[in-house]
Amino acid sequence: MNPLLDRLHPYPFERLRELTRDVVPSAAHAAISLGMGEPKHPTPGFIKSALSDALGGLASYPATAGLPALREACAAWIERRYGVTLDAATQLLPVNGTREALFALAQTVVDPTRSTTAQPPVVVCPNPFYQIYEGAALLAGADTAFVNSDPGRNFAADWSDIDDATWARTQLLYVCSPGNPTGAVMPQSEWTRLFELSDRHGFVIASDECYSEIYFRDEAPLGALEAAKALGRSDFRNLVVLTSLSKRSNVPGLRSGFVAGDAALLKRFLLYRTYHGSAMSLPVQAASIAAWGDETHVVENRDLYRSKFAKVTPLLAEVLDVALPDAGFYLWAAVPGGDDVAFARGLLAQYNVAVLPGSLLARTAHGVNPGAGRIRLALVAGVEECLEAARRIVAYTLSLPRIS
């Protein structure tokens, strides 16, 4: 057996099940889950039709590089959304959802035999973070290093957490913007700093942008390709972005996204993917072409989130330290007393509402667990269900003994 498998950590939901095994959820309330970040708005009909109209494609093996028409639809979307022109043939690859691509990328990029010191290479991850980054790093034979989010600066990453010796060992950096769970969007100034670091130390930046289309301000979140272009980095050297239809188009079950950026890197990624067997099914490609080509449903979807967050956030802000995020579909709330696991257990027992304790989404690094004392609320269900959950959270919080 591959001994690296033993380095994997249990997934946050597995840990939550363990931590709530003895909790009996209140029978007086219908169960509501704000735990999983699975989009629940309906899938647009035209995407389903495009999928079913293309079922004839099941009779053929698809190419790993995807249909030229899909790559062109993705490149056209990048052009419209970010004003960045890509060569669809070399600077873009379809992937079966960003999860598998985030994982596969580390296996392609990390060279465990190349190390300036006797120590293993490093993959830098945000903290809190999407756990695939860590698993990908560990299975690639790298060590992880974490950059804590700073609640005092709207959850921006504290890049000074990483010292020069660690940057020198770094081969891959995952960035999540808009962030899960914080919703924070990285500004140009931080991108400039990261590109400088990447140039100095030669590491690859993987920018996970799967929440880019759900935002609450007037301006759409800055993307990494856009940030690179603003600095004249038109070859996107050592940069790839990963983006997904799951949240944008409410199709988490379609498993469709794409990776774009550095052509030399993507050439190697395509080679890896050919052997890994990660070609996208032709009906999925047809549905994806339809989805990337339409913005109307994306605007409607964003509006649904905006009105839901506008109703739910003020209600919760009366009792919890929580604010409207830049983007994404999570609230990242501090709980009174600071024990996120106890809060989640009590809420489940008394009001049958499931939330994810923030400490399970982060690791202790630089002396703190930056998720501790917070809960992640995924506002993915309909507005009425989210409002009902919020009312129960308010009632539960008010029932807790006051902490002075």
Stretch that binds ligand PLP, among 18-26, 94-102, 269-277, 286-294 (CB under 6 A): 94-102
Beta-carbon neighbour count of residue 31 at 10 Å?
12
Which 248-307 positions form the footprint of ligand PLP (CB under 6 A)?
A: 252, 257
Distance CA 100, CA 383 (A): 31
Annotate 193-211 with three-state secondary structure.
HHHHHHHHHCCEEEEECCC
Candidate residues 148, 180, 250, 288; the one interacting with ligand PLP per rule CB under 6 A: 180
Q: Which range touches ligand PLP (CB under 6 A), out of 97-105, 143-151, 232-240, 288-296?
A: 97-105
134, 208, 262, 340: which one binds ligand PLP (CB under 6 A):
208
| CA–CA dist 321, 275 (Å, integer) | 48
Identify which range of 1-9, 93-101, 216-224, 357-365 contacts ligand PLP by CB under 6 A: 93-101
Q: Could you tell me which stretch among 6-14, 75-83, 91-99, 341-349 binds ligand PLP (CB under 6 A)?
A: 91-99
Which residue number, 97 or 135, has a Cβ lying nearer to ligand PLP? 97
Given a contact cutoff of 8 angstroms between Cβ atoms, the answer to whether 144 and 122 are in contact is yes
Contact 134, 102 (CB under 8 A): no
Q: With contact defined as beta carbons under 8 Å apart, do 125 and 174 qualify?
A: yes
- Please give the residues from 210 up to 229 whose contact with ligand PLP meets the rule CB under 6 A: 210
Question: Which residue from 108, 171, 246, 352 is in contact with ligand PLP, where contact means CB under 6 A?
Answer: 246
Contacts (CB under 6 A) with ligand PLP, residues 27-46: 37
What's the distance, Cα to Cα, between the start and end of the chain in Å? 53
- Applying CB under 6 A, does 135 fall inside the site for ligand PLP? no
The answer, yes or no, to whether the previous bond of 252 is cis (omega within 30 of 0) is no
Q: Which residue among 182, 244, 281, 369 contacts ligand PLP (CB under 6 A)?
A: 244
Binding of ligand PLP by 209 (CB under 6 A): no
What residues contact 22, with CB distance under 8 A and at least 6 apart?
Answer: none
DSSP H helices, 277-319, are 282-292, 296-317
Q: Is 374 in the site for ligand PLP (CB under 6 A)?
A: no
Return the number of the residue (62 or 128) whose C-beta is nearest ligand PLP: 128
Tokens of 183: 């919703």
Helices 340-351 and 383-399 cross at an angle (nearest 10°) of: 110
Q: Which residue has the tokens 């660690």?
A: 166
Using the contact rule CB under 6 A, the part of the chain among 92-100, 114-122, 142-150, 351-359 near ligand PLP is 92-100
Q: Which of 99, 233, 237, 374 binds ligand PLP (CB under 6 A)?
A: 99
Binding residues for ligand PLP (CB under 6 A): 37, 97-99, 130, 176, 180, 208, 210, 244, 246, 252, 257
